[in-house]
Amino acid sequence: MDINLISDTVTKPTSAMLNAMMSAEVGDDVFKEDPSVNALEQKVAEMFGKEAALFFPSGSMANQTAIKFHTNPGDQLICDKYAHVYNYEGGGASFNSGVSCRLIDGHRGMMTAEQVEAAINPPDFYHSPFTSLVCIENTTNKGGGACWDFEELKRIKAVCEKHSLGYHLDGARLWNALVAKHETPKQYGELFDTISVCLSKGLGCPIGSVLAGSSEMMDKALRIRKILGGGMRQAGYLAAAGSYALDNHIERLAEDHKKAIEIGDLLKKLPFIKKVEPIETNIIIFEIDESLYDSDGFVQKLNEKGVRLIGMGQGKLRIVTHLDYTDTKHQAFLDILGSI
């Protein structure tokens, strides 16, 4: 049995999703003539109560596009030190937008309104970079799938309004937060200027992200997406997977979360596990007591039994539950883990 717990991006389309893709009506999306792409964009815009939305091949491109139109070269954005936009987008903020990142030393990828406000450079002090944007991530990826307290997000919004800063949400994993915290997309739409969401993580699509915002912003985003090479033609086959997932794969994320808790409970009982970080969604970050079991050896041992997971550096290991991690695989993994 192949039990791949490396990431929730390893999923393959279900047969029902494939059917939706195969029967999609398509057209040339560069001419805005793909009905399935248009339908997905409209669906996401409506979910978040935004005027418009735009389909992207990746979450990185959606985030980078947002950073581009919220900033000017030389500006600075504020984000947590764990932020995907800073750590995992190839240095795109500087490459594409000429923007630096002011990093906040937050907690599990989350910062406070006070920390954000203190990081803003005075706009009239022309020696410092001009602060123009705050980027939030929910759930936090490197932070272990942690969910924000919505009240803190509102407080940060107030800081952004006071200082005329853009407010962008990297919501690649927002669906997990919505399910875990019983929140709605509309709540987030009211708060943020722009929101990017991924279809290819927990929702199980082979590809795709969507950026939502005002019509004016999405008009700008369209041009930037083109410049970044993200103009796609009969992308409706991919968008149809997205629409299918939005209708069928959101509620079920609760199952991934439940399995993650069960794995965490078992890990905590194993004598060679030093620490398991709090589990709020589908990501489990844990540490091995290296004096009892070397973490490479642990990963190797699981590998031999058909289980794959990855290290995050500094002795931390990560497990991510997902759509293709079935009940059968879950039981098999718990048995394997218990026998080590």
Distance between CA atoms of residues 299 and 69, nearest Å: 42
Of positions 5, 104, 135, 172, contacts ligand PLP by CB under 6 A: 172
Tokens describing residue 211? 């950026």
Distance between CA atoms of residues 117 and 114, nearest Å: 5
Binders of ligand PLP: how many residues, by CB under 6 A? 13
Q: Which residue is nearest to ligand PLP (CB)?
A: 59
Q: For ligand PLP, which is the closer residue by CB, 63 or 71?
A: 63
User: How far is the first Cα of the chain from the last one, in angstroms, to the nearest whole number?
Assistant: 17
Q: Tell me the window of 54-62, 95-103, 122-130, 311-319 that interacts with ligand PLP (CB under 6 A).
A: 54-62
Provide, rounded to whole angstroms, the least separation between the CB of residue 78 and ligand PLP: 16
Of positions 70, 84, 249, 257, contacts ligand PLP by CB under 6 A: 84
Provide, rounded to whole angstroms, the least separation between the CB of residue 58 and ligand PLP: 4
Any idea how long the chain is? 340
Tokens describing residue 44? 């996401």
Q: Which residues pair with 284 in a beta bridge?
A: 319
Provide, rounded to whole angstroms, the least separation between the CB of residue 32 and ligand PLP: 23
Q: Which residues pair with 168 in a beta bridge?
A: 135, 194
Provide, rounded to whole angstroms, the least separation between the CB of residue 243 and ligand PLP: 18
- Name the strands in the sheet holding 310-313, side by side, starting at the edge strand that comes first in the sequence: 273-276, 283-288, 316-320, 310-313
Tokens describing residue 230? 């993200």
Distance between CA atoms of residues 256 and 330, nearest Å: 10
- Does residue 232 interact with ligand PLP by CB under 6 A? no
Of positions 34, 40, 52, 59, contacts ligand PLP by CB under 6 A: 59
Residues 6+ apart with CB under 8 A from 74: 98, 99, 129, 130
Kindly write out the interface string for residues 208-227 of this chain, putting x where it contacts ligand PLP by CB under 6 A and - elsewhere: -x------------------
- Does residue 77 interact with ligand PLP by CB under 6 A? no
Contact criterion met (CB below 8 Å) for 111 and 143: no
DSSP letter assigned to residue 234:
S
- Does residue 205 interact with ligand PLP by CB under 6 A? no
Q: Tell me the window of 58-66, 74-82, 143-151, 182-190 that interacts with ligand PLP (CB under 6 A).
A: 58-66
Of positions 34, 41, 80, 137, contacts ligand PLP by CB under 6 A: 137
Distance between CA atoms of residues 340 and 336, nearest Å: 7
Segments in the chain forming alpha helices (H): 15-22, 35-48, 59-70, 84-87, 92-97, 113-118, 150-162, 174-181, 185-191, 215-227, 236-248, 253-269, 295-304, 327-338
Q: Tell me the window of 56-64, 161-169, 183-191, 266-274 that interacts with ligand PLP (CB under 6 A).
A: 56-64
Provide, rounded to whole angstroms, the least separation between the CB of residue 153 and ligand PLP: 15
Of positions 60, 243, 281, 295, contacts ligand PLP by CB under 6 A: 60
Of positions 45, 77, 198, 317, contacts ligand PLP by CB under 6 A: 198
Query: Contact residues for ligand PLP (CB under 6 A)?
Result: 58-60, 63, 84, 137, 141, 170, 172-173, 198, 201, 209
